[in-house]
Amino acid sequence: LSPKVVHFLLANKDPERFQAVAVRTPGTGKEEQAGSLQDLAILTNGRPFIKVAGDTLDRIRPEDLGRARRIWANYTHFGIIGGKGDPRALRHHIAQLRRAYEHTDTVQDREALQKRIGKIMGGTATLRVGGLTEKEVEARVTIAKRTAVTMRAAMREGVLPGGGVALLDCRPALRDKLAASTDANERAAYRILIAAVEEPFRTIVSNAGYDDSDVMAEVRLANRESGGHSHGFDAVSGQVVDAV
């Protein structure tokens, strides 16, 4: 902020008449900061004023100011609660960002777009990672980043049950192919595939000291009773459980 702006805010700050807080524009480069201003404008039904676009403060009108139920700020962060932006314009803006995300190849740009979408939708959080030594902190930060990437992928693309359960769910489709095929070689290949997709599950069960055929029957019964396909085997407890 320029000294002139700081002086103006300090001189006119009055809790009863004029409440103001100055915050740094999010982002590191001009392009990223311009995107952040655009997001804030959409969120609050305001208008971004950008110097390179020829905008000046003497052209601001009351209707250019965004509105929100509440804002907060501290030394490092600020937030907007209950922005008064147009819901239709907000949905359209989010859809544009998602399309840009899908067509962006660079990891850096994808992460930046992902952060913008998360902030607009209120789906962001600050995770503070600590440790006794610098190396311990670095290791934990690396793990935290990997976990965040995994969680984002799960939210965006969905998850599959573990423990070989997802492979077991491939069997009905393979059996349909087997029943429809009249070629001897194809039928042999489908039988091999059916046995192969069962093997990870059977190996987990056998390594835990249980009979794989008995547990397989229990899983089929549990899925039949629940009407789903997500039951598997917990090798620690020895129980058939929902694996999702």
Give per-residue pLDDT as tens, 65-116.
Answer: 899 988 888 888 888 888 888 889 989 998 998 888 888 888 888 888 888 8
21 and 55 fall within a common domain: yes
- 79 forms beta bridges with 72
Closest CA to 23 of 72, 94, 67: 72
* Together in a domain, 221 and 134: no
Q: Residues with Cβ < 8 Å from 36, sequence gap 6 or more?
A: 25, 26, 27, 116
CA 45 to chain centre: 25
pLDDT for 168-212, tens place per residue? 989 999 999 999 999 999 999 999 999 999 999 999 999 999 999
Same domain? 22 vs 135: no
Question: Tens digits of per-residue pLDDT, 142-153?
Answer: 999 888 888 877
Determine the Cα angle at 48 with ends 82 and 75, to 5°.
60
Are residues 115 and 14 located together in one domain of the fold?
yes
Percent of the chain with pLDDT over 70: 97
Mean pLDDT, range 44-49, rounded to an integer: 88
Facing residues of 241 across strands? 232
- What pTM was estimated for this model as a whole? 0.51
Whole domain around residue 147: which residue ranges? 130-159
Instruction: Give the residue with greater pLDDT, 225 vs 1.
Output: 225
Q: Does residue 40 share a domain with residue 110?
A: yes
Q: What is the mean pLDDT of the chain?
A: 85
Assess whether 44 and 106 both reside in one domain. Answer: yes
For residue 125, what pLDDT band results from cuts at 50, 70 and 90? low
Mean of the pLDDT values across residues 125-129? 77
- Residue found under tokens 């998360």: 118
Q: What type of residue sits at position 1?
A: L
Q: 142 with 56, same domain?
A: no
In a shared domain, residues 30 and 98: yes
Q: 35: which 2 tokens?
A: 């995107």
Cα–Cα distance list, 48 to 28, 83, 90, 120, 241 (Å): 17, 15, 15, 16, 53
pLDDT score at 148: 82
Identify the CATH number of the domain in which residue 43 sits: 3.50.7.10
pLDDT at 160 over 80: yes
Q: Which residue stretches of the chain are H helix?
A: 3-12, 30-44, 87-102, 107-120, 134-157, 165-168, 171-180, 184-207, 212-226
Helix (H, G, I), strand (E, B) or coil at 158: coil
Residues 134 and 122 in one domain: no
